[in-house]
Amino acid sequence: MFFPGLGQFYGEKIIKGLFWSICQIIAIIAAIWSCLSPDGQTSTGLIFLGITIIIYLANILDAHWTVYTAKNDKSLEKIPRTNKNPWFAVFVSRVLPGLGQLYGNHSILGLIFLTASLIFLRLDDLYPSLLIISPTLAAIATYHAYLGFPQKSSFRVREYRSIVAVMVGLIFAWGIIWNYLPNWIDGRWQLFNIPSESMQPTLQIGDFVLVKKSSSYVPQQKDVVVFKTPDAVKKLSPDAGDYFIKRIIGKPEDKIQIENGIVYINNQPLEETYISEPPDYQWGPEIVPSQAYFVLGDNRNASLDSHAWGFLSKDYLVGQAYKISWPLGRGKSLILK
């Protein structure tokens, strides 16, 4: 995939190329921030995603027009059909490394690039540490496809080495981002669907919440957290899903008591504006063990939580649910301020 602005660089319209590149980068950053930030809106992120696509398509049209109207440089004029075009070699190299070499009659090298790229496309999925190899191969193959083009072509290949070098650098950088960004996001964030009413009114059935996964996360009181279903829950409810979502009420060493519809933390009543109704059960007092938490659902009388199955070990924690991402009309932060 070419990054917006490269066609303008080829047409020696550097400022215009930088403009398209910067616009695309800003749109991508805005889309990611809107979707992942607690203060961002998913709807805004989708708008910026649409803008990103529009910029990409508009850039293609502008790149074509830029090169077509560059009449002051004969090397940019239309290439006769009888001659091969090194820029076409660059293009097919971006489709699949090695095709540019095959087009330029470097058959052996083309087959080497082609075979290596196909192998590492597969290995990338199996071994994430090898993700850097594919964009590196693409950059090398693209650069060679241009500079190694047969000199008998009427196209003045050597005059545009600096432009090609800039293009290859951007291609390499974009390849790194494109390969690593999905894995980076997947390793740190995850969407979870709400299947029950246990967290009403905060969360409704069908909501999708965004969870920031972190092994170093230390929950704070009133955080909404997702955790793997403890064994104690599976004994009470064999049909329970793989994950639960509740609110942190008690932290390690806290004294917890529930009496007369009020939760007491260390003998102090806990102010709760997010629950559907006060609990109609009594519990405690008990001390939360170290390395554990006391969790409750906001729908206190319809939630299978710590009052029924005990304390939650920190080893089960997945991360903090900090935002409703979907439906769009319900998007909001879950972080209490």
Q: Which residue has the tokens 């027009």?
A: 65
Catalytic residue list contains 198: yes
Q: 198, 303, 306, 325: which one is catalytic?
A: 198
Kindly list the distances between the CA atom of residue 56 and the CA atoms of 26, 93, 127, 187, 235, in Å, as whole numbers in the listed order.
13, 19, 31, 27, 53
Do the beta carbons of residue 150 and residue 104 sit within 8 Å?
Answer: yes
Q: Which residue has the tokens 């004029």?
A: 77
Q: Which amino acid is at 291?
A: Q
In sequence order, what are the beta bridge partners of 246?
225
Torsion sign (Cα): 98, 100, 102, 107 = negative
Burial class (CB in 10 A: 0-12, 13-18, 19+), 15: exposed
Residues in the chain: 337
Q: 13, 16, 84, 246: which one is catalytic?
A: 246
Smallest Cα–Cα separation from 291: which of 182, 212, 218?
Answer: 218
H or E element at residue 322: strand 317-326
The three-point CA angle 52-57-60 to 5° equals 125
Task: Measure the CA–CA gap between 287 and 125, rounded to whole angstroms.
Answer: 46
DSSP readout, 67-106?
HHT-TT-GGGSPPPTTS--HHHHHHHHHHSTTHHHHHTT-
Task: Measure the CA–CA gap between 5 and 28, rounded to whole angstroms.
Answer: 15
Torsion sign (Cα): 12, 15, 20, 24 = positive
Do the beta carbons of residue 56 and residue 4 sit within 8 Å?
Answer: yes
- From the CB of residue 112, how many other CB atoms can be counted at a distance below 10 Å? 16
Instruction: Point out the residues that are catalytic.
Output: 198, 246
